[in-house]
C-alpha cells in the first residue's frame, strides 16, 4: 500500500474505538492526523503522545460535531497547524436503541445532530478546503443495509450519509477527490460493547468467520480507501462485517 507521507487527515470522534484505530493506522502510513474529540481530552491527548512516540505527527482538536461552528473550527485549526487537508474520515457518531413507539424527541435530535447534520457540514468543509485528489470516507453502519427492530432512528441516521456520499462524489469528482463510505457490522471496541453478552455472542455466530469485528478490521479498509490505490473507487459503500446478516 502506498505511503500517506505528506498527507493530512482529520478523523472525527477519534479518541477511542474505531476512530482511534483509524488514527493510528493513518499515522502508521505516514499521514499527520488531527484527532477530534468531544469530551475525552485525556484519551485524545494520550493518543497524540502514542502516535508521536512512534515517529508520527498528530494534534488533538476539541469540537462538538453536532455544532456547525465547532466543525468549522476543527477544519481551520487543522489547516492552520498542519498546513492542508487531504483526508477526512467522518467517524463520530452516537447510537441509542429503542422501538419506534419508545423514541423520544431527544433521542431523534441527538442522533440526527451528530450522525446526519454533523456529517453533512463536515463534508461541506471538506469540499471547501480539501486539496485536489483528496479522500473522504464516512463511517456509516451495516444497520442501514440490515435493519432490525429497535434501531430505527439510528439506522435512518446512518442511511442519510450514504446518499450524501453518492451525491458529493458526483459534485466534486472533477477535482479527483473520492468520496466513499464504510459500513461496519458489530465491532469492538465500540458501541457494540455496551450490549448484553448474549447479543454479542449472537452477532459473532451470524458471521461465517465466527467473530465480531475488531476496530483494526475497519481501520485497514479506511486506510485502503485513503490510499492512491483506491483512486478509481468513489460513490461506493463498503460493508465490513465479516459476512454477517445483522
Q: Averaged over 188-216, what is the pLDDT?
A: 83
pLDDT at 2 over 90: no
Active site (annotated) includes residue 146: no
By percentage, how much of the chain surpasses pLDDT 70? Answer: 98
Residue (of 91, 120, 95) closest to 218 by Cα position: 91
pLDDT at 66 over 60: yes
The residues that bridge with 181 in the sheet, in sequence order, are 138, 237
| pLDDT at 191 (0 to 100) | 67
Express each pLDDT in 70-114 by its tens digit. Answer: 999 999 999 999 999 999 999 999 999 899 999 999 999 999 999
Provide CB contacts within 8 A for 201, sequence distance 6+: none
How high is the mean pLDDT of the chain? 94
| Neighbour-count burial of 36, counting CB atoms closer than 10 A to its CB (0-12 exposed, 13-18 middle, 19+ buried) | buried
pLDDT at 192 over 80: no
C-alpha cell belonging to residue 166? 453518492
What is the C-alpha separation between 37 and 75, in angstroms, rounded?
13
pLDDT at 1 over 50: no
| pLDDT at 194 (0 to 100) | 72
Express each pLDDT in 16-48 by its tens digit. Answer: 999 999 999 999 999 999 999 999 999 999 999
Could you say which of 154, 158, 181, 238 is catalytic? 154
What is the C-alpha separation between 94 and 170, in angstroms, rounded?
28
C-alpha cell belonging to residue 148? 432490525
Domains, the chain, with CATH or none: 8-240 (3.40.50.720)
Q: Which helix (H) or strand (E) holds 216?
A: helix 215-225
Write the DSSP assignment of 103-156 as a string of letters: --HHHHHHHHIIIIIIHHHHHHHHHHHPPTT-EEEEE--GGGTS--TT-HHHHH
The residues that bridge with 240 in the sheet, in sequence order, are 184
Per mean pLDDT, which range of 44-58, 123-137, 145-159 is the poorest? 145-159
By percentage, how much of the chain surpasses pLDDT 90? Answer: 87
| pLDDT at 198 (0 to 100) | 81
Residue (of 79, 87, 71, 73) closest to 124 by Cα position: 71
By the 8 A CB rule, do 145 and 200 touch? Answer: no
What is the C-alpha separation between 234 and 246, in angstroms, rounded?
25
pLDDT at 246 over 80: no
Express each pLDDT in 6-16 by its tens digit. Answer: 999 999 999 99
What is the C-alpha separation between 44 and 11, in angstroms, rounded?
11
Phi/psi of residue 47, each to 5°? -65, -40
Amino acid at each position: 500500500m502506498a505511503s500517506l507521507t505528506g498527507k493530512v487527515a482529520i478523523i472525527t470522534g477519534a479518541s477511542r474505538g474505531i476512530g482511534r484505530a483509524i488514527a493510528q493506522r493513518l499515522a502508521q502510513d505516514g499521514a499527520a492526523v488531527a484527532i477530534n474529540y468531544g469530551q475525552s481530552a485525556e484519551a485524545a491527548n494520550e493518543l497524540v503522545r502514542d502516535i508521536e512516540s512512534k515517529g508520527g505527527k498528530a494534534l488533538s482538536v476539541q469540537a462538538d460535531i453536532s455544532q456547525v461552528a465547532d466543525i468549522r473550527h476543527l477544519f481551520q485549526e487543522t489547516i492552520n497547524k498542519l498546513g492542508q487537508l487531504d483526508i477526512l474520515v467522518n467517524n463520530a457518531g452516537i447510537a441509542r436503541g429503542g422501538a419506534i413507539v419508545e423514541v423520544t424527541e431527544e433521542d431523534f435530535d441527538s442522533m440526527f445532530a451528530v450522525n446526519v447534520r454533523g456529517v453533512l457540514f463536515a463534508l461541506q468543509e471538506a469540499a471547501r478546503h480539501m486539496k485536489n485528489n483528496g479522500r473522504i470516507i464516512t463511517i456509516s453502519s451495516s444497520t442501514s443495509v440490515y435493519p432490525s427492530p429497535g434501531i430505527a432512528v439510528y439506522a435512518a441516521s446512518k442511511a442519510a450519509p450514504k446518499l450524501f456520499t453518492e451525491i458529493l462524489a458526483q459534485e466534486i469528482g472533477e477535482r479527483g477527490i473520492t468520496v466513499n463510505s464504510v459500513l461496519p457490522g458489530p465491532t469492538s471496541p465500540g458501541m457494540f460493547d455496551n450490549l448484553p453478552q448474549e447479543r454479542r455472542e449472537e452477532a459473532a455466530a451470524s458471521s461465517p468467520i465466527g467473530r465480531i469485528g475488531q476496530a483494526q478490521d475497519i481501520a485497514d479498509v479506511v486506510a485502503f480507501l485513503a490510499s492512491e490505490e483506491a483512486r478509481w473507487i468513489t460513490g461506493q459503500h463498503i460493508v465490513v462485517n465479516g459476512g454477517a446478516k445483522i
